[in-house]
Amino acid sequence: MLIHRGVLWRISSENKSNGDLKYMAEKTKKPVEDKEEKEGQEGKKDVQPKKGLPINIIIISILALCLVGGGFFVWKTGLLSKFTGKEDAETGAKTEETEGAAVDIGAINELETFIVNLSGDSGNHYLKVKISLELDSENLKIEIEKRLPQFRDSILTLLSSKTIEDVKTLEGKAQIRAEIMTILNQYLKTGKITNVYFGDFIVQ
């Protein structure tokens, strides 16, 4: 009976020791597993790729660039003015200014028609021209009336010195107009001639 109890006590002691060892092993193993799991999670965090810019920010940036580029294009090409009618208003204003300038003309003094033989072709060609003078003052007509003989002589001398080549081009006509105005203004004291107009300019 004593032997049986001793055996039982020994077995019980061995079971208790085995249980304690098992408990200590599990207790020791659990922190190690926890540590490994924690390190694994941290490793996953490190390996996880960095996220780029949110897609919403990218879309908003692209739309903003498109709006800025479109606005610059509209402004540069003048489309905005066409849509708003501003361009038409400006064109109308410029047209009115031009028409106003065309209507604003000085006093006109008409001279007689001049017929002269052109130089350099033995009298085979002649020039017929009607001349009108624009004045800076209506009062200048009085002085011009007194100086008509001087005007007539100077104009006839100038025109008869021209050749057929001098009078058949636009540049030649402009040159004659400028020369007439310069010569006649040399005689005037109370005003000046501001422009010369040709009513007729016929070369035959």
3-state secondary structure 16-56: HHHHHHHHHHHHHHHHHHHHHHHHHHHHHHHHCCCCCCCHH
Q: What is the DSSP letter of 123?
A: T
Q: Is the pLDDT of residue 104 over 90?
A: no
Q: Is the pLDDT of residue 75 over 90?
A: no
Q: Using alpha carbons, list the distances in angstroms from residue 30 to 42, 62, 82.
A: 18, 54, 81
Mean pLDDT of all residues belonging to the chain: 74
- Residue linked to tokens 């006839």: 156
pLDDT value, residue 125: 86
Q: 188 pairs with which residues across the strands?
A: none
Q: What percent of the chain has pLDDT over 70?
A: 57
Q: Is the pLDDT of residue 115 over 70?
A: yes
Sign of CA dihedral 48, 50, 52, 55: positive
Please give the single-letter amino acid code of residue 49: P
Lowest-confidence region among 90-99, 113-122, 156-165: 90-99
Cα 105 off chain centre by = 35
Q: Give me the helices (H) in 48-169, please.
A: 55-77, 79-84, 86-103, 140-146, 148-160, 164-167
Q: What is the pLDDT of residues 6-22, one digit of tens each?
A: 444 454 455 555 555 45
Q: Is the pLDDT of residue 41 over 80?
A: no
Residues 6+ away with beta carbon under 8 Å from 176: 158, 159, 162, 166, 167
Q: Is the pLDDT of residue 195 over 90?
A: yes
- Whether the model clears a pTM of 0.75, i.e. scores above it, the answer is no
